[in-house]
Structure 1
């Protein structure tokens, strides 16, 4: 607060941008030097750790439980033929061909019910007249692979082996590059969305807290309310950039320590340096757009409950916008992609994904200029709403007005 009081005598000579920078520096340092900022940095690590553990455990469970096996209940000589054929085909077919268990003669239905075996079906009868017993969906799925297995088992030894095929691998192909860059585009979109949604909500709690302890009134007495709005928005953006930088350094260290155990994404069409730069720019644009909406919402709300009620529809709409931008990846060149680029809230996601496929730079320059214009419009609208309602108060005995009436109804006279 010392910076604000130090400028009280000069507020008449301070421009709105200068006053906004004073507010931004005050909020930035207050958050950065607080003890809660450490917990803010550690917060995203817990979901990541839980997700990695859950994914690893789930993969292990699927490998142990979902991998059904085929029981072979044939005469010993024919069972040996099937086992030999399975050993020849399994390296080529892998997951398409189930693992087998040789069973003694008996009741196939009883063998399927034994808990110590993970049998999906039982092959019985003979190689000439086979019979596959199991649930309908399992035997339909295995009909083709088991038919190929039996055909290989019936093949006489005199028939020569198939000719050996010489494999000549190329460095890449158009389909391979497109598929690989699609993974890069999708990963970039998801990361951008998670960061914006995770960090944009900070402005809500910060504003409601300061409205509750009357700090906003002190700030409004020193600088214009539009400057308070802009200062808080840019302070939260700067704090978010610090958080992203810390998480990026930690993630890079983990990637470096893990070596080749972590899959490496294909280089985007614009190259990694420019791709990262565009990611920072599009993150800033998306954050300012969504942050201005959240900050305007915070100016309407007086309690945490109202904040949650108002922010939930915005969050759900932003989720739909992200899905729309993701769908535009599969409709390159169509009206869907152009709509995703033009709509301000989906434009950062659509253009960031486009950077992975298209190496042209000029579309990004136009998109950034358009997004900057939209940021200016939304920030101006949010600042006006912020100025109108954040300092509005009424008599204690007056009836409390709803959020809808505060946003769109006539403005009551302040006391």
Structure 2
């Protein structure tokens, strides 16, 4: 095992140095300028996911008689205006409606967007600034209609820093952005593993290496060399992006904070990108082992690329379904696991699950690499059990 690791390090250093100091690496760094359309397409799906979670619920903390009247008015107006245009109202039983209690309730109840207190004549709407400004007109309309008054009610607004509901929406935005960045970078960078292997197969370099070094070490070294190159590219792109952001300026505090915090989330982004890259790259190595021409490479790699988009959409659509069977499947399926787990990092604050996920993804990567080596030996090196049987048969028959 130690010899394989040493040999893999030699291959990784050779490939990494050759790529980084090549002229084509500069043009590779320009690669992200072209596939930005993928991010736009992902934004369309993201808006649909946002609608799934952005279902406003406003608590009602007024007298029982006025609360029933408000709910009846909401039901009546919903028939003509549509239920989606009005927020859902929920009566808060045995709730004092004091300002301190309202703030505590909003922070503890993720389902609540805001709370209406006071009376119908002088209602008080408390919530985050974004939610209060969005719904104050609808609440005023409901109160006026309930009282059958022709004059506007005196609606008072109170802002809190962040409610449980607004925090959940912010974490959802972070999860969506994390997944979109992962799939974009993986699809840009992983294909280079395939082209590098096919090029060396064509030049017979891979066969020379295989005569001196175990194939497992060659594949492992090439995979990690390409991962190192990808991380260098990401470091360059990130530095440029942060520099531009600092020059333009902006409110950094307004960025939606993930549940695990930005330092751990950033580390997990790097780790899950690495695992997504290694998983897809090891699969491309298997394709390269089976392909003998560039045309075969294009034919075999297309289903894998489309399949990668499908597993991404699986993980993307499961963001709002934490704990449900669909989301668990996305977490356990190795190729969608990095995308599903980065969404969990944005929405759940427990860390231990990420250690298990990374180990599981690493084990599956080694299984794919081992299988790719077997394919390469059978198809290129003409070794393995099938080749030995064919050689023995030829010697027996004399053909």
Q: Which band: TM-score by shorter chain?
A: 0.5 to 0.7
User: Aligned to 2:223, which of 220, 233, 252?
Assistant: 233
| Residue 170 of structure 2 corresponds to residue 180 of structure 1 | yes
Give the match for residue 31 of structure 1. 19
Give the match for residue 113 of structure 1. none
Does structure 2 conserve the Cα–Cα contact (< 8 Å) formed by 1:183 and 1:265?
Answer: no
* Shift in alpha-carbon separation, 1:326–1:51, aligned structure 2, 3 A: closer
Three-state SS of the structure 2 residue aligned to 1:196 is helix
User: Aligned to 2:275, which of 261, 272, 285?
Assistant: 285
Distance 1:409 1:163 in 2: 87
Question: What is the CA-CA distance between 1:391 and the residue it aligns to?
Answer: 2.7
User: Aligned to 1:379, which of 369, 380, 388?
Assistant: 369
| 1:106-154 Cα deviation digits (max 9, x unpaired) | xxxxxxxxxxxxxxxxxxxxxxxxxxxxxxxxxxxxxxxxxx9xxxxxx
| Residue 8 of structure 2 corresponds to residue 20 of structure 1 | yes
Who wins on radius of gyration, i.e. which is larger?
1
Map 1:291-302 onto structure 2 (within 5 A): 291-302=281-292
Does structure 1 conserve the Cα–Cα contact (< 8 Å) formed by 2:314 and 2:336?
Answer: yes
| Residue 266 of structure 2 corresponds to residue 276 of structure 1 | yes
Question: What is the CA-CA distance between 1:160 and the residue it aligns to?
Answer: 7.9
Does structure 2 conserve the Cα–Cα contact (< 8 Å) formed by 1:340 and 1:347?
Answer: yes
Distance 2:251 2:351 in 1: 33
Map 1:201-240 onto structure 2 (within 5 A): 201-240=191-230
Give the match for residue 180 of structure 2. 190
* Shift in alpha-carbon separation, 1:207–1:373, aligned structure 2, 3 A: same
Give the match for residue 44 of structure 1. 32
Give the match for residue 329 of structure 1. 319
Question: What is the CA-CA distance between 1:257 and the residue it aligns to?
Answer: 1.8
**Structure 2: gaps spanning 5 or more residues:** 44-84, 86-140, 142-148, 395-399
| Residue 354 of structure 2 corresponds to residue 359 of structure 1 | no
Give the match for residue 379 of structure 2. 389
Three-state SS of the structure 2 residue aligned to 1:167 is strand
Does structure 1 conserve the Cα–Cα contact (< 8 Å) formed by 2:171 and 2:346?
Answer: yes
Three-state SS of the structure 2 residue aligned to 1:162 is coil
Three-state SS of the structure 2 residue aligned to 1:15 is helix
TM-score (norm 1): 0.64
